[in-house]
Amino acid sequence: MEPDSRSGPRADPGALPNVALADLEGEWRVERVDGLLPPMAGVRKRIGGKEGTTRVGPLPGWPFCVQRREEGFALVYRPPFSSLVDEVRAEPGGSWIGRTVLAGRALGRFRMRRTEHRK
C-alpha cells in the first residue's frame, strides 16, 4: 500500500480526534506499518510537554517539538532534520498511528505503543 501524501495518518476510521497533549506524553515503542520506512526495531519516542526525542537504540536522540494539528499532533524535528515531520493521532486502545513526512511527501506509516504504565 502506497502512502497518500494528501491524507493524514488514518489507519482506523474510529481514531480519536479530540485528545489532550497529556495523552501523548510518555515513552513509546515505534512499529513500522507500511510505506518506505525502514524496519523500526529499537526505535523509541519520549515525549514530555511540547518537546521530545526519537531514539534508535543507544544512539543520541533526534529532538522535536510537538505542535497541535486539526486531527492530532505533529512532531516537528529540529535542524538539521527540520524537513522531517511525524504526524500522529490517537487510536482506540491507547496507541497512536502516525505517518512520516519528508519535505511534504509521505514516506510511510507507523504505530506508537506505550512502553510505560501511566500513573
Which sequence spans correspond to the domains of the chain?
Answer: 21-112
Q: How far, in Å, are 37, 58, 74, 109, 119 from residue 98 at the CA level?
A: 12, 23, 9, 6, 25
Which grid coordinates belong to 95? 496507541
Of 55, 56, 112, 72, give the one whose Cα is nearest residue 64.
Answer: 55
**CATH number for the domain running over 21-112:** 2.40.128
Measure the CA–CA gap between 108 and 49, rounded to whole angstroms.
Answer: 25
- pLDDT tens sequence across 4-58: 444 444 444 445 556 899 999 999 999 999 999 998 999 999 999 999 999 999 9
- pLDDT tens sequence across 62-111: 999 999 998 899 999 999 999 999 999 999 999 999 999 999 999 999 99
Measure the CA–CA gap between 65 and 47, rounded to whole angstroms.
Answer: 9
